Amino acid sequence: MMHLWVRAEERANERRVGITPAGVARLMAEGMRVTVEDSPTRVLPIDGYRQTGAAIAAAGSWRDAPDDAVIFGLKELPFNTGPLRHRHILFGHAFKGQADGLDLLARFKAGGGALYDLEYLVDDRQRRVAAFGYWAGFVGAALSVAAWAAQHGSSAMGPVTPWDNQESLVADIQDRLAAANAPSPTALIIGALGRTGTGATSFLSQIGVTPTAWDMAETAGGGPFPEVLAHNIFLNCILAMDGVPVFVPADAPQTPRALRVIGDIACDPTSDFSPVKVYDRITTWAEPLLRAAPEPPLDVMAIDNLPSLLPLESSEDFADQLLPHLQCLPDIGRGVWARAHETYRTALSTL
């Protein structure tokens, strides 16, 4: 019997979950065994999972789970796990040469486990089957506009905390623009046709901004792209990978520009393939902006768990996308799971 173990997230400020109580009930009705760890921060309370009849375990107890359990979480594992002996489903950020990712792969190799990376869970046409992209784009665009408002206001942009829903987020950003008497910004989105770009466009439209929308056709020439510097806000919605051109070169801060805010929503600054070359580390909820140039100001927003700022909507959306594939876990050697495992094996062979 397939045993799915839903772990509590151990990263600070992570309230999302990849399966709802309704999803757990569906899996159990189909014969799967499910254990859910308790969590004081998860946006969906444990009582809903308990009512399904799933086993409830203490947070972090996945370390002692049976060898055959498949451990399911979203964000990265802590560094102090030691060798990893289980099969894990998560966003590993481990296949593009990231330093932390290499450490994660080494722990899997040492323990004999396996990583089924959610970013590489793809169909037979190599399209991702589940992603948080829409809500990353929505929130990333909102925070980028908030940075624009802060540049026109009397104080720096402070820490961010989750919003109850998208309506309250939109209202908050509109209030910030009005309080700062900030002009409506111009914005360029690269990756506008994908999930993330669609979410970014949706937010901007709700505050009356019509962005310049670029996708593969507009960037096929490989750059440079002076249009990026000609807009007030640039939103990068393209995942870092081999072949992606540089959108913001390292010398952009010293170049004449209208650009004041970069929302690197794809956010992979430690990858050699990152198309935004003016910063080298993620930003956080506590410090959402990194100033890349003082005058005129150039701020970078590069938070890597943006959807958790709208945790309920993003969790429910992602869980709905992923559930049909979790239902296929008993046949883990085929389909999307087999493709994810092969990607892992290829990455492991490079160690």
Supply the residues annotated as catalytic.
75, 93
Distances (CA, A) of 44 to 48, 61, 83, 172: 7, 19, 30, 24
- Geometric angle at alpha carbon 304, from 231 and 47, rounded to 5°: 135
Contacts of residue 239, Cβ cutoff 8 Å, sequence gap at least 6 = 119, 266, 268
Cβ pair 176, 156 in contact under 8 A:
no
**Sequence-ordered list of residues with C-beta below 8 angstroms from that of 103, at least 6 positions apart, any chain:** 79
Any idea which residue has 């994660």 for tokens?
Answer: 104
Tell me how far apart the alpha carbons of residues 265 and 138 are, in angstroms, rounded to a whole number. 10
Q: For residues 12 and 275, what is the distance between their CA atoms, to the nearest angstrom?
A: 27
Q: Which residues neighbour 135 within 8 Å (Cβ) at sequence distance 6 or greater?
A: 199, 306, 307, 310, 313, 314, 317
